[in-house]
Amino acid sequence: MDSIRFGCWVFLFCLLLSTTGYSRNLTSRPAVVNIGALFTFESSIGRVAKIAIQEAVKDVNANSSILRGTKLNVDMRNSNCSGFIGMVEAMRFMETDVVAIIGPQSSVVAHIISHVANQLQVPLLSFAATDPSLNSLQFPFFVQTTPSDLHQMAAVSDVVDYYGWKQVTAIYIDDDYGRNGISALGDKLAERRCRISYKAGIPPDSGVNRTDILDVLIKVALMESRVIILHVNPDVGFEVFSVANRLQMMGNGWAWIATSWLSSVLDSASPLPSETMDSIQGVLFLRQHTPDSDRKRGFYSRWRKLTSGSLGLNSYGLYAYDSVWLIAHAIDAFFNQGGIISFSNDSRLRSVKDGGLHLEAMSIFDDGKLLLNNILQSDLVGLTGRIKFDKDRSLILPAYDVNNVFGTGFKRIGYWSNYSGLTVVPPEILYTNPPNRSSANQQLYKVIWPGDTLITPRGWAFANNGKQLRIGVPIRVSFREFVSQARETDTFKGFCIDVFTTAITLLPYPVQYQFIPFGDGENNPSYTELVNKITTGCECIVKLFATSSSSLYIPVSDSLIFLLQFFDAVVGDIAIVTNRTKILDFTQPYVASGLVVVAPFRESNSIAWTFLRPFSARLWIVTGCFFFVVGLVVWILEHRINDEFRGPPKTQIITVIWFSLSTLFFAHRENTMSTLARFVLLIWLFVVLIINSNYTASLTSILTVHQLSSPIKGIESLKESDEPVGYQVGSFAEYYLSEEVGISKSRLVALGSPEEYAKSLQLGPGKGGVAAIVDERPYVELFLAGQCTFRIVGREFTRSGWGFAFPKDSPLAVDMSTAILALSENGDLQRIHDKWLMQNTCSSDTSELEADKLHLRSFWGLFLFCGIACLISLLIYVLQITRLFCRAAPAESASPDQCPSRPGNIRRLLTLMDQKKDRTKNESKRRKLERSFSGKDQDGESLRNPKRKETESTIAATSA
């Protein structure tokens, strides 16, 4: 009975404890939790966000599965897009003990109040502040509940790359939102080898007028790029479109891409006035992608009833709605973890004399970090899709719709996602497949571009509103067939000029240009200085536009006149070399070129020792040595078993010499009986066959073909000598010879014309001339067409070509390259070449310079193979002799205790090697084999081979 009472008391005690804990958990949840909302009420985003937040709070409070008895109370404040007002309203929030703030809408305001939120540990959840820099470690309590502009700029970059544009102009609002967004755009474009060629900032003040925008757009119109990225707020954006339309910047050839600010207006305020829609025809713009769902469609239906169709729902409203639910779930998890909403005064504010500001009312949210962690660890599905943050505190799987303004509305031409890039398939469908960002899978539907055209804009035009291109042309005084200026005129002619003028007619657009001569007309100009005029001019353009504070439609100033003295391109015989490609862009080469060596030559006459010329001295020596080595190896292998390789020492030496030399003519009479000797001889006869064939062919060429010779064999012989070397004035050959080849500048002689070439080569180094001339092949071929006493020696030791030079990243260089390729394919390039450069050549053009001798390097593989065969055969032979010696050594010992001396062993080994091999056993086996033959066969064989019969009789007598 006592035990039963005790059990009842224990049960009641446990029940009391559990009831107390449950009541404590319920009582720790307050009846109301205050949250704040800070945005601009009268903006296109703010009007939608206000209704969305109110409806979200209603839905949360009506849902019994979340917060369980606790109600959300939202306090909305108007920041009026002002950083100062936003900061004041945020500090007023801190006096009302809010646990989180939805907003702010503006990135500028977010930068200011994020510092306050960090100190007071109150999370900020912004549905519209997309500045990428806000998502940094500097602002730990700031959470972007919408995709950051870092992803939006990645989408813009992919669109730019998709249409093949390489440079864009960025027009942006000059505040934190605009600057940081364009900075992200520049980084993303660089990843795709594109760039922002010009940035135009618009003042963020609300007082910006049309004149300011007009000045900006006039500067933009003078730029080369025709692709405009517009990253501003809605008020400024529509003003920009209006002014651009008046400046005819919304017509053919232009491409405009607006960021998500345009979608917020088109979604919420559609339809816009016809005048506004006309000003944005053909514009591409992005909108945050939110996947379709039953819940989203239901909310849209509910929205139309709430607003009676007077206000559309944009994507920012959806993100604002989901932000409320995100806070509600985080607060619910906060309470489940035992979190208590409590605030404490900041001790640092006690020492500040507030002067009536009541700073003591601002308090720190004690468990603010716990609530922040719950927000970042949330994983739920809202109207915008899945809400989950990655390790960088960004929403996972960001995606955008790519839209095109057309007619009275717009159409979606595709999607962009960080997972699959550009596609016409909704991203949520592709999430089930492996990621594929290959260029082949990037796809968008057709676009109606500005000017009501389906033709994709080229993306660029000539700078300064189509001004004539100033093209620098060198004034040559030599080799005028390539480039020459008509006397007392501004016209040019020549091979290079014809190629340029013909290619430029193939471009799909007109190009206005004028040739500007460069040089004094007395000497060939420096081509390095000529091409550098392009880069110097570009630097001045950038400097002028960067420092100018006034519009460029004012009268031309002195600084602008100075600017125009430089070139937009260079046309002529411009070699494409490494140093120039670092600072310029070149077209496709229209002439193959490279440095060659020109030297005088003489005819090679036959002399008494001409037969030695086919082989080099080293090859003769190695070949002769191998003859005797092979003869010696065969003698060693045959000496014990072959009587023809035996006899007195003198006879054997003569036999070795005769045998080795006779293999040259395959006339050796000595039979080989050893398998090893036959193997060595077979390899050697193959080597002899190859050597004989090459010698015969080379000697025939020397004796029958007219040969030319020169003491200069190529660039290497010039480098090793100390004789003077000529080069053309203005050519890059001087730099290459001195810096790359290593020839001293004191040896280099500048020559200005073909006549000077011929005179210096004829004089030679002994009489004040040069030993050779190094120049580019086209010049040399033209020079040799009229000079029959000089020839190219050695090989071309550089590979390059001639092209037309343009500024770095110039799209005209790409189009001109395509035109040059077309000239090459249709044969026009060859016809131009024949017109200017095909001249009568010397009658001795068929003569050839002295062919190089055959060297050991051409045959070392054969000699190596033969040497290995000899070495292997000798090794096997030594093993056989050693085996015989080891067997014979015990039988020859006088007693078991007597150890033979080393000299004695060597003598016995040499005796064994010199001793004729006993072939008795082999002969007995042979006789047994012969007895198996029939008598008739033996008689027939004897009649056919009487000598063999005589030999067999001799062997039989010897055996008896």
Q: Specify the pLDDT at position 378.
A: 93
Query: Which region among 137-146, 388-397, 687-696, 831-840 has the lowest average model confidence (pLDDT)?
Result: 687-696
Query: For the chain, what percent of residues have pLDDT higher than 90?
Result: 42
Q: What is the CA radius of gyration of the chain?
A: 48
Whether the predicted pLDDT of 719 surpasses 90: no
Backbone angles phi, psi at 203, to 5 degrees: -60, 140
Whether the predicted pLDDT of 590 surpasses 90: yes
Q: Specify the pLDDT at position 145.
A: 94
Q: Specify the pLDDT at position 767.
A: 87
Separation of alpha carbons 331 and 66, rounded Å: 9
- The rounded Cα 545 to chain-centroid distance in angstroms is 31
Q: Specify the pLDDT at position 552.
A: 36
State the chain's mean pLDDT as an integer: 81
Strand partners, 514: 470
State the pairing for strand pair 284-288/399-406: antiparallel
Q: Specify the pLDDT at position 692.
A: 77
Separation of alpha carbons 372 and 354, rounded Å: 30
The more confident residue out of 7 and 461 is 461
* pLDDT classification of 147: cutoffs 50, 70, 90: very high
Q: Specify the pLDDT at position 37.
A: 94
pLDDT digits (tens, 9 = 90+) for 751-807: 989 999 999 998 988 888 999 999 999 999 899 888 888 888 888 888 889 999 998
Element (H, E) at 695: helix 675-704
From the CB of residue 40, how many other CB atoms can be counted at a distance below 10 Å?
Answer: 24
The tokens describing 361, both together, are 């009312």
pLDDT digits (tens, 9 = 90+) for 932-949: 544 444 444 444 455 444
Whether the predicted pLDDT of 548 surpasses 50: no
Mapping DSSP onto H, E and C, the string for 290-347 reads CCCCHHHHHHHHHHHHHHCCCCCCCHHHHHHHHHHHHHHHHHHHHHHCCCCCCEEECH
Whether the predicted pLDDT of 845 surpasses 50: no
Q: Specify the pLDDT at position 668.
A: 66
pLDDT digits (tens, 9 = 90+) for 41-100: 988 899 999 999 999 999 999 998 888 889 999 999 998 878 788 888 888 887 788 999
Secondary structure (3-state) at 669: coil
Q: Which CB contacts under 8 angstroms, 24+ apart, belong to 852-855?
A: 853/613, 853/614, 853/615, 853/616, 853/619, 853/698, 854/614, 854/615, 854/616, 854/619, 854/694, 854/695, 854/698, 855/616, 855/618, 855/619
Query: Which region among 103-117, 372-386, 509-523, 892-906 has the lowest average model confidence (pLDDT)?
Result: 892-906
Q: Specify the pLDDT at position 913.
A: 63
- Which of 451-465, 815-829, 843-857 has the largest mean confidence? 815-829
Query: For the chain, what percent of residues have pLDDT higher than 70?
Result: 78
Q: Specify the pLDDT at position 643.
A: 64
Taking each helix axis from N to C end, the angle separating 261-268 and 315-336, rounded to the nearest 10 degrees, works out to 100
Longest Cα–Cα distance of the chain, Å, equals 146
Q: Specify the pLDDT at position 919.
A: 53
Q: Specify the pLDDT at position 452.
A: 93
Q: Specify the pLDDT at position 12.
A: 45
The more confident residue out of 623 and 242 is 242
Instruction: Please say whether the beta carbons of 471 and 561 come within 8 A.
Output: no
Whether the predicted pLDDT of 150 surpasses 50: yes
Q: Specify the pLDDT at position 760.
A: 92
pLDDT digits (tens, 9 = 90+) for 179-201: 999 999 999 999 998 999 999 99
Q: Specify the pLDDT at position 909.
A: 63
Q: Specify the pLDDT at position 564.
A: 41
The more confident residue out of 602 and 256 is 256
Instruction: Please say whether the beta carbons of 707 and 848 come within 8 A.
Output: yes
Whether the predicted pLDDT of 551 surpasses 90: no
pLDDT digits (tens, 9 = 90+) for 268-324: 987 889 999 999 999 999 999 999 999 999 999 999 999 988 899 999 999 999 999
For residues 634, 637, 639, 643, the Cα torsion angle rounded to the nearest 10 degrees is: -80
Whether the predicted pLDDT of 374 surpasses 80: yes
* pLDDT classification of 927: cutoffs 50, 70, 90: low
Residue in the block written with tokens 């040595």: 625
Query: Which region among 343-357, 433-447, 719-733 has the lowest average model confidence (pLDDT)?
Result: 343-357
Q: Specify the pLDDT at position 499.
A: 96
DSSP 169: E
Q: Specify the pLDDT at position 905.
A: 63
Q: Which residues are CB-contacts of 213 (< 8 A; sequence separation ≥ 6)?
A: 202, 236, 239, 240, 243
Q: Specify the pLDDT at position 185.
A: 96
Element (H, E) at 363: strand 363-365
Q: Specify the pLDDT at position 172.
A: 96
Query: Which region among 235-239, 389-393, 548-552 has the lowest average model confidence (pLDDT)?
Result: 548-552
Q: Specify the pLDDT at position 958.
A: 40
Instruction: For residues 889-905, give the mean pLDDT.
Output: 55
